[in-house]
Structure 1
Amino acid sequence: MNKLEIRSFDMDARGIGHLANEDGTQGKVVFVEGALPGELVGFSTYKKKTSWEVATMTGVYRESSQRVKPKCEFFGTCGGCSMQHLQPEAQVAMKQRILEDNLWHIGKVKADTMMRPIYGPTWGYRYRARLSVRHVIKKGTVLVGFHEKKSRYVANMETCQILPAHVSAMLLPLRDLIASLSIIEALPQIELAIGEGVTAMVLRIMQPLSADDEVKLKAFADQYQVQWWLQTKGPDSAEPYYPSVSDLHYLLPEFDIKMPFKPTDFTQVNHHINRVLVARALRLLDVQANERIADLFCGLGNFTLPIATIAKEVVGIEGSSALTDRALENARCNGLSDKTSFSTRNLFEITADDLKKLGRFDRFLIDPPRDGAMALCQALIDLGDVAPEFKPKRLVYVSCSPSTLARDAGMLVNQAGYRLSYAGVVNMFPHTSHVESMAVFDLL
């Protein structure tokens, strides 16, 4: 049997080892699913290329002291988690190392200070999820849950440890409900969004409900305290169905902010971590009462509104007018419209001239999607030639991709005249390989 010494971890939570060449030198790299650094494992290769292989683990001959028994009985089959076999503290340390490696190998930068990681509850934390629905005729059942690993099939999961307990307990009743509906073949997914005291579920329906379906959905909502939404087309078509009025919102109590949202909106999945994330981001941004701040990729105003409680003025910028309209309404709801304004523009095509036209800002909060903020970083580089006095003195960059953060950090440090003062991970998704992080850049 093939045996391999595992030396490190990759961003997909796979153990990394190297085959030995005939002369004893280090050979081809092997990525082993389920293996941990420090372990000696058996493996079976299922994908082979010239310089690397991907394998499954067939046995553990020397076990890592950080290996733990997964809490979920469906771990290994369900694709919702990839790191339940590793101690939560070790997961965070691994993600911190991934961030540092990306910053150096991709961006050629190192932070002056690595911040203490942000982490919190590791179970029952997922307040947002997209659950797939599949009617499996051969098995005579309906499946509701995440996809299986590397598969389009829905995992046969009866509980979920990362969903809140009341939602986990609903998975089997949801199966029975959907199996009883006339639209069983026309309901491909359920979008879950939990707010303060409200559990909303969006049914993506491809056919109208029958009268009997309506009776069953309302009875389920009453029994399990669920608010149903119906989505007939794209995400913007989602509307409350029963009860017909929604009070879906989350709170940022440190700033006395109430944030209404729709279940199809982008919001952070982990409300506990989001509160800590926002508070730390604002402390690092170090906003002063006389300053003008830009919140780029502002979404619904998750950072904009807390900033407005401190700054003289904050401008939220986002690519969707629907989002900026909603953010403005959220500012009004919180009595902050006099200190906020919102601008709609494509930040993936922004230029130095565009930044100059927006006026001078003291600080930027940047929270882009996985693609990062490459155009914005290039605009800041070019701004040095066009109008260097318009460069903000501090940037706080919140990232959901360490590789694009590292790329952008390289541009900011090596070309735009900033230094990377702080960086650290945010464990928004425990037991998964997702690495969220935060970085602080100061103008030299």
Structure 2
Amino acid sequence: MKAPITLELDVTNLSHDGRGVARHEGKAVFVRGALSGEKVIARIVQRHRHYDDAQVESVLQASPDRVDPRCPHFGVCGGCALQHLAPAAQIAAKQRVLAENFERIGHVEPKRWLAPLTSAVWGYRRKGRLSVKYVDKKGKALVGFREDNGRYVADLTRCEVLTPAVGERIEALAALVGSLQAVREIAQIEIAAGDDTTALIFRHLQPLSDSDRAALVAFGQQHALAIYLQPGGNDSVHPLWPENPRLAFRIAAADVELEFRPLDFIQVNSAMNEAMIAHALDLLDPKPEDRVLDLFCGLGNFTFPLARRCAHVVGVEGEHGLVQRAKENAARNGIANVEYHVANLLDDQRDTPWARQRFDRILLDPPRSGAQAVFDYLPKKGCDRIVYVSCHPASLARDAGILVEKHGFKLRAAGVMDMFPHTAHVESIALFER
């Protein structure tokens, strides 16, 4: 067996996934557990042609921004990458990532940088997916996120970023799964938390026995958790206990409540979602007489707050179920100045009735792939302001370059939002004007 290779390295930056970046003999080395400005001893874990992967063995000179991770599983569990970095430094690093992407990919720079949006950094996740695996060597079931290497399920006792209703019960959840006859048939557990109800969705590969179903019901009753079963695809999800759970969250500033189903997309961080909506509306600045287009609208997270501020909103989304629930939520909240359409926004929509309408403002909230596909048919005539909410800085930077170079807009402002503290995920927002 070869002796491990260790190197003394000076770390000069953070990578997009939260690893320290160093160089050794001209070759890049990505060091998990290292921070910018540190001198470390690192062990090479994998060699590649143009770079190497490494793991910190010891820190010789620590960054002033280094802190003790709160979670005992940090460094093994892959759910968090930055707990060893102070929260203020985390958000500063994310803003640097956004700025570098604008410069390198979009070749643009915002006229002004927006102050970062931040909120509570613990217990914030109201959506999540936990892997489940029975491990013979350990003689127990594991419930948690994947380990950092992605191959195994992390052996967790708790999770500090999940909503406490679940994060404080990981060990009990693993014991529950381990007690089931179907212990090897539970593939994953999804978490979905509304304001008043937190649900667990058990994905099972074979039908459950009556005793297993009773055990799940008893766990839900003991811990005040709604229990759903998922024996097949997304459409197979159904409640086990109680009979009709209600999942919903309020957007206080708009005085609306949105009901949703357990696997529906909602923003992971409730407090940041409220702040993000207010931020986006301030930037978009809709007038009472304005017509606004909301693309990739989902359940209406932005559509309903916009409807409180302008004359008419059109929301467009590709998933039929989300549009149906958006319409139901509009009726439930007494909002009549919205209309919803189902459309695959990655296809050319220029001949659809909604795309031929005139809009004063446009809001974009696309998936990681970005909004490039919509620009050729986007009804931009008469629109002098676009707000773009992004979950991937590279696609935002690319799209910013396209809007500026090809469509006559200027990048007036941009900034980051800490939707996922302690992870390397960068959520951002940008304002474009004619």
Where does residue 388 of structure 2 map in the other structure? 397
1:220 and 2:219 matched: yes
SS at match of 1:342: strand
1:309-324 to 2 correspondences below 5 Å: 309-324=308-323
Q: In the alignment, does 2:175 pair up with 1:176?
A: yes
Please give the alpha-carbon distance, in whole angstroms, between the structure 2 residues aligned to 1:53 and 1:378: 41
Q: Which of 389, 401, 415 is the equivalent residue of 2:406?
A: 415
Q: Does 1:14 align with 2:19?
A: yes
1:184-199 correspondence to structure 2 within 5 Å: 184-199=183-198
1:24 match: none
Mapping of 1:65-104 within 5 angstroms?
65-104=64-103
Per-residue CA deviations over 1:65-91 (Å, capped at 9, x if unaligned) read: 111111101000000000000000000
Indicate conservation of the 8 Å contact 1:195/1:248, yes or no: yes
After superposition, residues 101-120 of structure 1 pair within 5 angstroms as 101-120=100-119
Tell me which moved more, 201-210 or 113-122.
201-210
Structure 1 SS opposite 2:30: strand
CA distance 1:8–1:236, shift in 2 (3 Å): same
What is the alpha-carbon distance in structure 2 between the residues aligned to residue 350 and residue 46 of structure 1? 46
Q: Which position in structure 2 is the counterpart of 1:45?
A: 44
Q: Which amino acid aligns with 1:366?
A: L
Q: Which runs of 5+ in 1 are unaligned?
A: 21-26
* 1:372 corresponds to which of 366, 370, 373: 370
SS in 2 for 1:102: helix
- Tell me the CA shift for residue 7 of structure 1: 0.9
> Quick one: structure 1 residues 177 and 328, their matched pair in 2 at CA, closer, same or farther if it must change by over 3 Å?
same
> Aligned residue for 2:232?
233
- Paired position in structure 2 for 1:255: 254
190-199 vs 160-169, which moves further = 160-169
2 CA distance for matches of 1:432 and 1:391?
39
Q: Could you tell me which residue of structure 2 aligns to residue 442 of structure 1?
A: 433
Is 1:348 the counterpart of 2:315? The answer is: no
In 1, Cα distance between equivalents of 2:230 and 2:310: 38
Q: SS state of the match for residue 65, structure 2?
A: coil
2:284 corresponds to which letter in structure 1?
L
SS of 2:278's equivalent? Answer: helix
The RMSD of aligned alpha carbons is 1.5
Q: Which moved more, 1:137-146 or 1:77-86?
A: 137-146
Mapped to 2, the partners of 1:60 and 1:176 lie a distance apart of: 37
Give the match's secondary structure for 2:377.
helix
Report the TM-score when normalising by structure 2: 0.96
* Structure 2 unaligned regions, length at least 5: 1-5
CA offsets per residue over residues 177-206 of structure 1, 9 Å max, x none?
A: 112222211111111011112111111122
CA contact (8 A) 1:126 1:162 kept: yes
How many pairs are equivalent?
A: 429
1:406 paired with 2:404, answer: no
Cα distance change, pair 435–344 in 1 and its aligned pair in 2 (3 A) = same
1:355 to partner: Cα distance: 8.2
C-alpha distance 182-50 of structure 1, shift in aligned 2 (>3 A): closer
Q: TM-score, normalised by structure 1?
A: 0.94
Identity %: 43
Is 1:204–1:230's contact at 8 Å kept on the other side of the alignment?
yes
**2:393 counterpart letter in structure 1:** P
Task: Name the aligned partner's letter for residue 399 of structure 1.
Answer: S
* Deviation for aligned residue 1:353: 5.0
Q: CA deviation at 1:350?
A: 2.7
Residues 355, 379 of structure 1: 8 Å contact kept = no
C-alpha deviations, 1:143-180, integer Å up to 9, x for none?
11111012231100101111122322211221221122
Q: What CA distance in whole angstroms lies between the structure 2 residues aligned with 1:334 and 1:106?
A: 42
Structure 1 residue 356: Cα displacement: 7.7
Distance 2:141 2:256 in 1: 40
Distance 1:48 1:242 in 2: 50
User: Cα gap change, 1:415/1:437 in structure 2, threshold over 3 Å: closer, same or farther?
Assistant: same
Deviation at 1:357, TM superposition (A): 4.2
Q: Is the 8 A contact 1:236 1:264 kept in 2?
A: no
The whole-number CA distance in structure 2 between the counterparts of 1:345 and 1:374 is 16
